[in-house]
Amino acid sequence: MKILVADKISPKGVAYLRQQPGFEVIEAYGSTPEQVLELVKDVHAIAVRSETKVSRAVIEAAPLLKVVGRAGVGVDNVDVDAATERGVIVMNTPAGNTISTAELTFTHILCCARPIAQGAASMKAGNWDRKTLSGVELLRKNIGIIGLGRIGSEVAKRAQAFGMKVLAYDPYLTPARASAMQVESVTLDALLAGSDYITVHMPLTDETNNMLDEAALAKCKKGVRIVNCARGGIVNEKALVAALKSGQVGAAGLDVYETEPLPKDSELRSAPNIILTPHIAASTAEAQETVGIEVAEQIADLLVSGAVRNAVNLPSVDAATAKLLAPYIDLGTKLGTLVQQIAPKQIASLRITYAGKIVDLDANAITRSIQRGYLRQISDSVNTVNAPIVLQRLGIDAQVIKSSASCDYSELITVEAVDLTGAVFSASGTILGKTNEPRIVGINGREVEVAAEGKLLVLENIDQPGMVGAVGMLLGNDKVNIADMSLSRLTPGSTAYMVVRVDTEPSEAARKALKDNPAIKQAKFIQL
């Protein structure tokens, strides 16, 4: 079997692959996209870091391909959807660079406190300029950590060792978990106002994009220090440059950027009191060796024994079971994703109930898919293997119930998110027909029926004449085509539910118009 190592990984990882009987390893570092398309024609596995793009074209050009292994956390350079469609497993190494990223983050924090880089440059220029290179101590300063995941938690430990007080903003972190970590859980505004240092450790999503913009930086203490070793785009670069020039931000350290490589004419390069590193958070000998060996071992295990570890698109099950469970896994992922988008950010428990014939199956893979579905917009490193650990780290109690009670469907999966007040937000689904079509049949206790795919508008409205027409006209004027619609009410004139599956995402103006309609109590756009 051929393994293409398209990007340079640890030599120990390559050596491990070469030692496996029947493996032929091709090292092709720095290949052009055209060369990659030619090289993959007869390979069974591809190992990459972040340089090589494993696009849909690459996957379609590799008929023998079984697995893509990413030596690192993110899989942005791999078309996971295309891989899934072709039955190609995509693996990553989610924990390999945790410590290296946390340590680089703290290095930037130290450089924000003491002008180390500036002092080194001054000395090399022949100066002895002690007076202008004064710094500050970290002791008893407040550090605001946005995102208390793997890396944020490690940064918190290091900050506490320096005698800093940790303010944490993570909408998914429960009070119990915050207490155990000895951090103070606060709102984002409280963190901005109370922190001397701020570091971000969240994935880049629609919600976190430009999270630290001009308005956010204006809420901070004058002279606040800002560090971003997570994802470019979370800190608005133009706003940061302006704040550095005005003194609102006293210093900054960046390892990631909105555009990479950072353009030569970027204003960041000439901004005062900023240390820039070229996305090197994972670039330590230990991290690169760890992820290189890990990805090699995972690829070998899959090709030799069929064992699956750290897959982002398939639970850890054997091939025969995976085929049987595939429609339920797809449904579970979508139910988890739906519930995450209709529930509050902070929940106490995630409860999964199986009813009907499905209770006779080994539902572990389905459970993992539901948990991953719930978490995939929260953490960019979650997969079906580490989803339970991520839930635990967030302080979310995971519950699974196999019910013997009768239900209206031969098989039914219900996912419930229970918030800190005990309120329940739920979605139910089943598999219909010979084609095993996943269907959503309940949202928040209301009976609905809509295909579990694409884009949904979930509306809670007063049950009165003209609502369907009003919504249809508004979407029509916005050039949004309705693919499917389901209506639900308990009694005439009471609160009703309208679930609309649409072909395209409504504009911001259309969404605002829906929310501004006095008859609509709640409107949420859901992306499955």
Nearest to 73 by CA among 209, 204, 238: 204
Tokens of 519: 């008859």
Alpha-carbon distance of 399 to 355, in angstroms, equals 14
Neighbouring residues of 411: CB distance < 8 A, sequence distance ≥ 6:
328, 355, 356, 357, 358, 430, 431
Which domains are delineated in the chain? 1-94+282-310 (3.40.50.720), 98-276 (3.40.50.720), 315-453 (3.30.1330.90), 454-528 (3.30.70.260)
Q: Which residues are catalytic?
A: 231, 260, 279
What pLDDT, on the 0 to 100 scale, is given for residue 1?
A: 93
- The alpha-helical segments, DSSP class H, found in 280-400 are 285-305, 319-342, 364-375, 387-393
What proportions of the chain, in percent to the nearest 5, are helix, strand and coil?
A: 35, 25, 40
Count of C-beta atoms within a 10 Å radius of residue 22: 7
Neighbouring residues of 452: CB distance < 8 A, sequence distance ≥ 6:
330, 331, 334, 335, 429, 438, 439, 440, 528
Phi, psi of 238 (to 5 degrees): -65, -40
Phi, psi of 165 (to 5 degrees): -95, 130
Alpha-carbon distance of 131 to 128, in angstroms, equals 9
Per-residue pLDDT of the chain in tens (528 residues, 90 and over written 9): 999 999 999 999 999 999 999 999 999 999 999 999 999 999 999 999 989 999 999 999 999 999 999 998 778 899 988 887 787 899 999 878 899 999 999 999 999 999 999 999 999 999 998 888 999 999 999 999 999 988 999 999 999 999 999 999 998 888 888 999 999 999 999 999 999 999 999 988 888 999 999 999 999 999 999 999 999 999 999 999 999 999 999 999 999 999 999 999 999 999 999 999 999 998 898 998 999 999 999 999 999 987 788 888 876 565 566 677 888 989 999 999 999 999 999 999 999 999 988 888 888 889 989 999 999 888 876 777 678 888 988 999 999 999 888 888 889 999 999 999 999 999 999 998 777 889 999 999 888 899 998 899 999 888 888 999 999 999 999 999 999 898 988 778 778 889 999 999 899 899 899 888 998 888 889 898
What pLDDT, on the 0 to 100 scale, is given for residue 381?
A: 67
In sequence order, what E strands does 54-141 have? 67-70, 89-91
Contact assessment for residue 511 and residue 486, using Cβ atoms and an 8 Å cutoff: no
Beta bridge partners of 398: 350
Contact assessment for residue 220 and residue 192, using Cβ atoms and an 8 Å cutoff: yes
Alpha-carbon distance of 143 to 179, in angstroms, equals 16
What pLDDT, on the 0 to 100 scale, is given for residue 259?
A: 94
Alpha-carbon distance of 340 to 27, in angstroms, equals 42
Using the structure block, give the residue that is written with the tokens 């308990």: 490
Q: How many residues does the chain have?
A: 528
